[in-house]
Chain A
Amino acid sequence: MSQSLKIDIWSDVACPWCYIGKRRLESALERLTERDGARPDVTVEYHSFELSPDTPVDFEGTATEFLARHKGIPLAQAQQMQDHVTRLAAAEGVEFRTDRVRHTRTLKAHELLHLAKAHGKQYEMKERLLAAYFTEGRHVGHSSDLADLAAEVGLDRDEVLAALDSGRFAGDVAADIAQARAYGINGVPFFVLDGRYGVSGAQDPAVFVQAIDEATKAAAGTEEHADA
């Protein structure tokens, strides 16, 4: 009997490699579907990781300018980094508009992702937030803007506003970050397969295929051993 494989992903919204990694994992799942004639039984859950909790919600400037001002990276080098990652994103079919990006703290966006999870819409919400931030230049730091985006994926706008304003899911965000710390994760995206295997970074789809195969095989072996 085939085993369902759980993939836990630690990720941020303001994280280009997280968006690229999401696309590459999706490509890997499509490859597995084509190879095996059926979609693999995989469940994905996103977890919170704040890359720059020191970012002001109302930072005036682009992500490139934030890197220059707050991380001490020369503006020209920061721009070069952004241009490079933009080209790699395009190769995955994702349009990055770094000229439009409105850099902000992502704490509230993470709280929204936990609310969306409670309603079974976390994956759609994650995709909507990434596209809003990287492609559309939407602000993802204020409750009202987040509520608008949440409504687009079918969540109740008033419920979202109340939850974000009260910090109802702040504890869940903190718990995710503490769990990442316990794993020793210091960068994202980071993928944990079956709670036992790690894949760090936005790997090539072929690497994800191999990792999913290995984790699935190991889980099946464990089940057979337990049945013996």
Chain B
Amino acid sequence: MPDAPRSAVGRSAPARPAPPEADTANGPDESAGPTAPVLSMLADDGAACVDGVCALPDPVTP
């Protein structure tokens, strides 16, 4: 997989899905909106816009 272009100009948060916040103590929350399957990520940390800021992703630390 080729390296994504990197830059020191700006850093954005990764656009990958965050694990859902689990609160199972009271059972499933029917009002929480749609559910979705957990995705298997085939490629992560590509350049993306997060919260209106379109910077480059953080470099991967070896």
- Measured CB to CB, the residues of A under 8 A from B are 12, 15-18, 20-21, 51-52, 55, 66-67, 70-71, 73, 77, 80-81, 84-85, 88, 175, 178-179, 181-190, 192-193, 195-204, 206-208, 210-211, 214-215
Contact mask B8-46 → A, CB, 8 Å, 1/0?
011011111111100000000000011111011111111
* Across-interface contacts of B12 in A (CB, < 8 A): 187
Contact B45 A201 (CB under 8 A): yes
Closest to A24 in B: B46
B52 at the interface (CB under 8 A from A): yes
Give the residues in chain B near A84, CB-CB below 8 Å: 7, 9, 56
In angstroms, how far is the closest chain A Cβ from the Cβ of B19? 7
The residues of B with any CB-CB pair to A shorter than 8 Å are 1-2, 4-5, 7, 9-10, 12-20, 33-37, 39-57
What are 7 of the A-B contact pairs (CB < 8 Å)? Answer: A88-B5, A179-B36, A184-B20, A185-B17, A190-B48, A200-B15, A206-B1
Q: Is the CB of A187 within 8 A of B49?
A: yes
Given A184-B17, A211-B42, A12 and B50 contact (CB-CB distance below 8 Å): no
Assembly CA distance A183 to B37 (angstroms): 7
Contact in complex: A17, B37 (CB < 8 Å): no
Closest residue of chain A to B18 (Cβ to Cβ) is A184
Q: A51-B49, A71-B53, A201-B48 are in contact. Are A192 and B43 (CB under 8 A)?
A: no
Q: In the bound complex, do residue A214 and residue B52 qualify as a contact, i.e. CB atoms below 8 Å apart?
A: no
Report which of A175, A179, A187, A197 forms a contact with B50, defined as CB distance below 8 A: A187
Is the pair B43, A200 in contact by a Cβ cutoff of 8 Å?
Answer: yes
Among A12, A88, A214, the residue within 8 A (CB) of B49 is: A12
Q: Please tell me if the beta carbons of B52 and A178 are within 8 angstroms of each other in the complex.
A: no
Contacts of A181 in B (CB 8 A): 33
B54 close to A81 (CB less than 8 A): yes
In-complex Cβ contact of B40 among A16, A51, A70, A196 (8 A)? A196
Cβ contacts under 8 Å, A188 to chain B: 15, 48-49
A93 CB, nearest partner CB in chain B, Å: 17
Q: Given A77-B10, A84-B9, A181-B33, verify A200-B56 contact (CB < 8 Å).
A: no
**Distance from A219 Cβ to chain B, minimum over Cβ atoms (Å):** 13
The interface residues of chain A lying within 8 Å CB-to-CB of B42 are 193, 197-199, 210-211, 214-215
Q: Complex Cα distance A32/B2, Å?
A: 17
Closest to A91 in B: B5
Given known A81-B10, A198-B42, A210-B1, contact A186–B36 (CB-CB < 8 A): no
CB < 8 Å: which of B2, B9, B36 contacts A204? Answer: B2
Task: Check B36 against A211 for contact (C-beta < 8 Å).
Answer: no
With a cutoff of 8 Å between Cβ atoms, the chain B residues found around residue A67 in the complex are 52-53
